Structure 1
Amino acid sequence: MRNKNLVLNRIQKKPIVWDAFFNKNSEHKPLVVFCHGYKGFKDWGPWNLVAEEFKKANLFFVKFNFSHNGGTVENPIDFPDLEAFAENNYSKELNDLDAILNYLLSQENEFLKEIDTNNITLIGHSRGGGISIIKASTDTRIKKIITWASVCDFSKRTATIGDLHKWKKDGVKYVLNGRTKQQMPHNYQFYEDFKAHENQLNIKLASESIKVPQLIIHTSNDPSVDFNEAETLHTWNNKSHLIKIEDSNHVFDGKHPWNDSELPKALETVVLESIFFIKSA
């Protein structure tokens, strides 16, 4: 089954739009939850093809939009709601991930009988990798963690959004989205929230406390997140496994829109390695 644009409504919080890809056979399947990255969304580029590959492997694959990623229930692709984007922060993303996990494992989920609730893997791309690492370090429901081109440090990215004094004075900073040409706003609350939860949002501390198997996949010449960030993550957990992908981009040769019916070779390798990791003992 391919269930698109399901909506998790929440009291006094923005809804979460999500997809579920799985074979409907009443078999308990490992649950895989995918977290997109900065300026990302669940339907970016070849992510639907990625989901199909996990489905073919008889896994229950979920991808979702973070509630403040800039999408809406009516239009979950791209960034029609820049006001929401401006109010996003790492804490909201962690709360969103917790909310989707809680729902998927609850009796409210009509697909619960298809899920092995004791076999849960998080996959995070880029910034979503950092969110996934932090979540896996504190949530005992998570049994495996996979990162694709993950960042290793939120603090340096938070500070480089702009001059702090001017940011505080103006209340907002803008970052150009090169693809959509939108000026993407970051309200100063982003920095305030990070400082208020700086210890909780420390990826190094989270990585060092992870007790479950961890797979790190990164391309050698990533133009957005340098490969040394993957090496750093690897050093923080001596039980982790690092796979280097040669000569591809930050999304393993994916792009948006993706009009091909097949995955790019680099991303196909990433998916196959991830499925093998999930299915291995």
Structure 2
Amino acid sequence: MKILKNIIVDGNHQKPIVTDVFYKPTNQPKKVVIFCHGYKGFKDWGPWNLVAEDFAKADFFFIKFNFSHNGGTIEQPIDFPDLEAFGNNNYTKELDDLKSIIDWISNDNTFKNEANIDDISLIGHSRGGGIVLLKANEDNRVKKVITLAAVCDFGKRSSTIGDLENWKKNGVKYVVNGRTNQQMPHFYQFYENYKLNEACLSIPNAVKNLDIPQLIIHGNKDDAVFISEGENLKKWNPDAQFKVIENANHVFNVSHPWKQNNLSQELKETVEFCFKFLN
């Protein structure tokens, strides 16, 4: 298996997109799967590397990356050394970053014998699920889309509601990261950017318009993004497949750091559903 870590992909927002690829070198073009992490997430969180290896073993060309403004850096792609970047992140930057990754794999000749650029699928976890649904609807290079514990509406999230008056006055509000104990800033630009782009950031509209295969996976014990959000996605696209993972929480019963060499039963089941759907 070939694993290339921390490749630098140039994006549109003055910060690098730090990217990994996992594949079995066979000189046969393989289906491309691009994975998007969620809010306060990163490409090396928990067992995402194990998940990537499983996809590569199953003959996929698997790409995962850090959004340019997720708070990581080239030197330290894990966790959040760059809180200034985190505070300046927003949904349209993440959509642009994902486009940059699709452009990169579509145009970079390095992997032309290994990656089938005519068969690109997206997988997104949590907030990343919302991002991949929007991108799948607007980019015809995407052939299939999978969401894991995805949000169904950006307008209802804490980053777009709350005490707007104080947020505007102070220019920033903070969210505590329970694991790292960091005070993570959200600059007011986040809200302004959302309002300015509200129509094209509508997940309900995107899902209703999807004309490619869609798989929705959600745990029935998710207390961060309730399963009702997955049910909404299914309601908006009755043709979508909807898989409920019994007893799974928001991260399918894994955590960071993940010291084990195998996945939780719930995440293993999730990955197997993905394989079936993509094949």
Range class of TM-score, shorter chain: over 0.9
Residues 249 and 12 of structure 1: CA distance in aligned 2, closer, same or farther (over 3 Å): closer
The offset of 1:117, in angstroms, is 1.3
Structure 1, unpaired ranges of 5+: none
Q: Could you say which residue in structure 2 is the equivalent of 1:144? A: 144
- One-letter amino acid matched to 2:201: L
Match of 1:116 in 2: 116
Q: Which residue pairs with 1:269 in the alignment? A: 269
Q: Structure 2: which 5+ runs fail to align?
A: none
Counterparts of residues 63-74 of structure 1 (less than 5 Å): 63-74=64-75
Residues 113-138 of structure 1: per-residue CA shift (max 9 Å, x gap): 21111111100000000000000011
**Structure 2 length-normalised TM:** 0.98
Q: Distance in 2 between matches of 1:84 and 1:220?
A: 33
Scaled by the length of structure 1, the TM-score of the pair is 0.97
Q: Which amino acid aligns with 2:106?
A: L
| Cα displacement (A) at 1:109 | 4.2
Q: Which residue of 2 aligns with 1:222?
A: 222
| Whole-angstrom CA distance in 1 between matches of 2:189 and 2:272 | 39
In structure 2, C-alpha distance between the alignment counterparts of 1:159 and 1:179, rounded to whole Å: 19
Check 1:123–1:11 CA distance in 2 against 1; reply closer, same or farther (3 A cut).
closer
Deviations, residues 165-201 of structure 1 (Å, cap 9, x unaligned):
0000000000000000000000000000000000000
Instruction: Note the C-alpha offset of 1:12.
Output: 5.9
Give, in whole Å, the separation in 1 of the partners of 2:237 and 2:45. 30
Equivalent residue number for residue 167 of structure 2? 167
Q: CA deviation at 1:228?
A: 0.4
Structure 2: how far apart are the matches of 1:109 and 1:4? Answer: 18
Contact 1:161–1:173 at 8 Å: present in 2 too?
Answer: no
- Indicate if the aligned counterparts of 1:162 and 1:173 stay in contact, CA closer than 8 A: no
**Over residues 33-73 of structure 1, what are the superposed CA-to-partner deviations in whole Å (9 max), with x where a residue is unaligned?**
00000000000000000000000100000000000000000
Q: Whole-Å Cα distance in 2 between the matches of residues 117 and 11 of structure 1?
A: 21
Determine the C-alpha separation between the residues in 1 that align with 2:242 and 2:159. 28
Work out whether residues 26 and 114 of structure 2, in 8 Å CA contact, stay in contact via their aligned partners in 1: yes
Q: Could you tell me which amino acid in structure 2 is paired with residue 25 of structure 1?
A: T
Q: How does 1:180-199 map to 2 (within 5 A)?
A: 180-199=180-199
Tell me how far apart the structure 2 counterparts of residues 40 and 159 of structure 1 sit (CA, whole Å): 15
